Amino acid sequence: MSNTILGGARRPPGGGKAVLWVVLLAGLMCHGCGRGRASAETSDAAFEMGWNYYRLTEFNLAQKYFEASERLATNETQRIRALSALADVWNYRGPNPDRKKAARLYERVIAEDTAKAWAPWAALALARQVQWTAINEFPKLEDEVKDGETVEGMETLYGRVMRDYPGTQAAEEAFLYLQTLRIAQLDDEVLAVGVAALEEWVEANPNSPLLSRAYAMLGQGYHLQREGLKYIGALARSAEIAKIQGQNENIPQADQSETYFKMGTAAQFDAGDFDMARRFYAMLIEEAPTDQRVFIAEQHMDQMDAYEAALREELRGAANHGNGEGQ
C-alpha cells in the first residue's frame, strides 16, 4: 500500500482500520483529554491512536500520541516511526504549521534511520518544503548563489532523494515532482527535457504504482508541445492504468470524468477528430451523467454537428455550382 496521501503527506502504516472506535473512545475519555500527556500502554497503541487522530485532522491530539509513541518505544523502528510522524504533524498541520520544527525532526530521521525505512520520505518532505516556500514564482530548478552562499535548486534537492534512496517510492515521487516543475516552467527546452525524462521513465517502470500519474503528467507535457494525438494517447493510457490498478487493489474506481472531458476537447480542438471527440464525450455522459462538464460536452457535440452540417451544405452548393457551370 502506498505511503502517500493527497497533498504529499506520508501515510504512516497501520491506518487501514476504521476510525469509528476512535471517535467512540474519545467520547469516553476525560474532559481534559486535550491537555497533558496522552494515555497509552504501548508505543504501537499510541502510534495507532495518533495516526487516527491525524486522519481526523485533530493535530494536537495526534501530536500528543506520537510523542507518547516515541517515549514508549522499545526499539529503533518504533522510535524513528514516531519521530517521522511528529515531523508530519508539524509540517502539514493547518492552519499553523511549524516547518522549521518539522525540518529539524526530518533531519533527525535522516541521520538516525539506519534501516532507511522513513528517511527517504523525510528527505522528500524537506525538498518539498522548499518548493512550497517559493511564493508567487516557480521554484528555481538550478542552484543559485545569493550573498555568497549557494541556494540549492529543486534539481539538486529532488536529485538527492533519487540518488540517496534509489528504488524507493519516495525516489519515484521526487522524480515526478521534478518533471512537474520542468513542465510548469513554460520553457520549451526545459519542457522537452521533462517530456523526454517521462517517456523514458514510463517505459522503464511499467509496474510502478505511480504509472498512471506519470502518464497524466506526460500528457500535460504533450499538450503544451501541441502534440494533440500524443496528448490524447497519454491521457487514455493514464485512465486505463488507473482502472486496472484499482481493480487489482480492490479499491473503488477513480472518477475519470475529467480525463474523458480533456480527451474529448483535445480530439475536437487539437486533433480535429470529431468522431474520436464524440466517443470520449459519450463516455463522460454515460459514466458521469450529473457531472457539470456534461452540459459543455453536449454543447461541443452540437457545435460539431452544426459545423459538419454547414460544411456539407457548402460542399453541396459548390458541387451544384460546378455542375451548373459545366452545362
Residues 287-311: pLDDT tens digits?
A: 889 888 999 999 999 999 998 888 8
What is the CB neighbour count within 10 angstroms for residue 1?
10
Lowest mean pLDDT among 41-45, 202-206, 267-271, 273-277: 267-271
CA 162, CA 205: separation in Å to the nearest integer? 15
User: Of 149 and 319, which is predicted with more confidence?
Assistant: 149
Residue 257 grid cell = 470524468
Return the closest-CA partner of residue 194 out of 262, 258, 138. Answer: 138
Q: What is the pLDDT confidence band of residue 186, given thresholds at 50, 70 and 90?
A: confident
User: What's the pLDDT score for residue 252?
Assistant: 55
Average pLDDT over residues 177-189: 92
Average pLDDT over residues 62-90: 97
Q: What is the pLDDT confidence band of residue 131, given thresholds at 50, 70 and 90?
A: confident
Average pLDDT over residues 58-86: 96
User: Taking all residues of the chain, what is their mean pLDDT, rounded to a whole number?
Assistant: 84
pLDDT in tens, 31-58: 344 445 567 789 999 999 999 999 999 9
Return the biggest CA–CA distance within the chain.
Answer: 101
Q: What is the pLDDT confidence band of residue 254, given thresholds at 50, 70 and 90?
A: low
* pLDDT value at 132 more than 70: yes
CA 146, CA 17: separation in Å to the nearest integer? 49
User: What's the pLDDT score for residue 104?
Assistant: 97
User: What's the pLDDT score for residue 34?
Assistant: 46
Average pLDDT over residues 11-20: 42
The identity of residue 259, as a single letter, is T
Q: What is the pLDDT confidence band of residue 26, given thresholds at 50, 70 and 90?
A: very low
- In DSSP notation, 188-256 reads HHHHHHHHHHHHHHHHH-TT-TTHHHHHHHHHHHHHHTT-HHHHHHHHHHHHHHHHHHHHHTT-PPPP-
User: Of 315 and 2, which is predicted with more confidence?
Assistant: 315
> Is 1.25.40 the CATH number for 1-112?
yes
Q: What is the pLDDT confidence band of residue 318, given thresholds at 50, 70 and 90?
A: confident
In the chain, % of residues over pLDDT 90: 53
In the chain, % of residues over pLDDT 70: 82
* pLDDT value at 164 more than 70: yes
